[in-house]
């Protein structure tokens, strides 16, 4: 009888709690607006709505890149510094502030492609490197002139965002192992991945972990 009563109480508490919260799925739509901290994003509670600001931004729905030029309050035209912004949500997609500036002098924000207990986002970064070139004497095969040319190289940067503490780390096998310590079967599977398997299976492991370890945000009033 006591066990049954306890079960009913737990069930009722869960029901009440679930009515006040919403499951964060991989494509969950966050409230549109400006988030000044990770805690604000975690609670799905923007610090400012877009209606309170004038803004200049552009988004690329394919790469999930948002470039923001400036944010100003409508009531007094004061500037909201981009360095104070943790994330912006546009059409339900949360874009994390990278702290990087584009060639057009706009702040770069990258969209969370996967949302859940482990968030995932990626972006491309162009790096300019100097490549050494030499001209050779055809008679003796010895170099007689040396110079350097600039060459652009595009690197794909991948990140993991922990829903537990807001920590952002590089997406790789080592870091994913650190995040899944509470899921022993999955932990062992990730540890056993061979180098040739990582590109194909590591991302699937992240998704599996999210499916097994759900997170919720407070339900917003209509």
pLDDT tens-digit series, residues 114-152: 999 999 999 887 777 777 777 777 777 777 677 777 777
Phi, psi (degrees; rounded to nearest 5) at 14: -65, -40
The radius of gyration of the chain's CA atoms, rounded to the nearest angstrom, is 24
* Total-model pTM: 0.80
Q: Which residue has the tokens 């040396």?
A: 146
Secondary structure, 3-state, 49-90: CHHHEEEEEEEECCCCEEEEEEEEECCCCCECCHHHCCEEEE
Question: Residue 161 has which token pair?
Answer: 């965002």
Residues found in the chain = 222
- Band the pLDDT of 193: cuts 50, 70, 90: very high
- Decide: helix, strand or coil at residue 48: strand
Residue 209 has pLDDT above 50, yes or no: yes
pLDDT at 109: 95
Question: Residue 26 has which token pair?
Answer: 């991989």
Q: Which of 15-24, 45-54, 57-66, 81-90 has the lowest mean pLDDT?
A: 15-24
pLDDT tens-digit series, residues 75-117: 998 999 999 999 999 999 999 999 888 878 899 999 999 999 9
pLDDT tens-digit series, residues 175-192: 999 999 999 999 999 999
């Amino acid at each position: 009888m006591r066990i049954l009563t306890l079960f009913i109480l737990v069930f009722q508490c869960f029901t009440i709690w679930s009515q006040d919260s919403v499951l964060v799925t991989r494509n969950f739509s966050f409230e549109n607006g400006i988030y000044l901290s990770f805690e604000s994003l975690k609670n799905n509670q923007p610090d400012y709505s877009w209606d309170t600001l004038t803004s200049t931004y552009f988004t690329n729905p394919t790469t999930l890149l948002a470039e923001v030029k400036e944010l100003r309050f409508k009531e007094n035209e004061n500037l909201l510094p981009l360095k104070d912004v943790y994330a912006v949500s546009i059409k339900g997609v949360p874009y994390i502030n990278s702290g990087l500036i584009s060639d057009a002098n706009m702040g770069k924000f990258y969209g969370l492609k996967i949302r859940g207990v482990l968030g995932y986002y990626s972006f491309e970064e162009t790096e300019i490197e100097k490549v050494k070139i030499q001209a050779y004497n055809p008679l003796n095969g010895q170099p007689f002139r040396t110079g350097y040319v600039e060459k652009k190289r595009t690197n794909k940067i991948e990140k993991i965002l922990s829903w537990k503490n807001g920590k952002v780390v590089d997406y790789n096998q080592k870091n994913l192992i650190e995040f899944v310590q509470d899921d022993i079967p999955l932990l062992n599977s990730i540890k056993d991945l061979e180098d040739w398997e990582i590109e194909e299976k590591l991302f699937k492991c992240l998704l599996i972990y999210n499916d097994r370890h759900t997170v919720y945000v407070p339900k917003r009033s209509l």
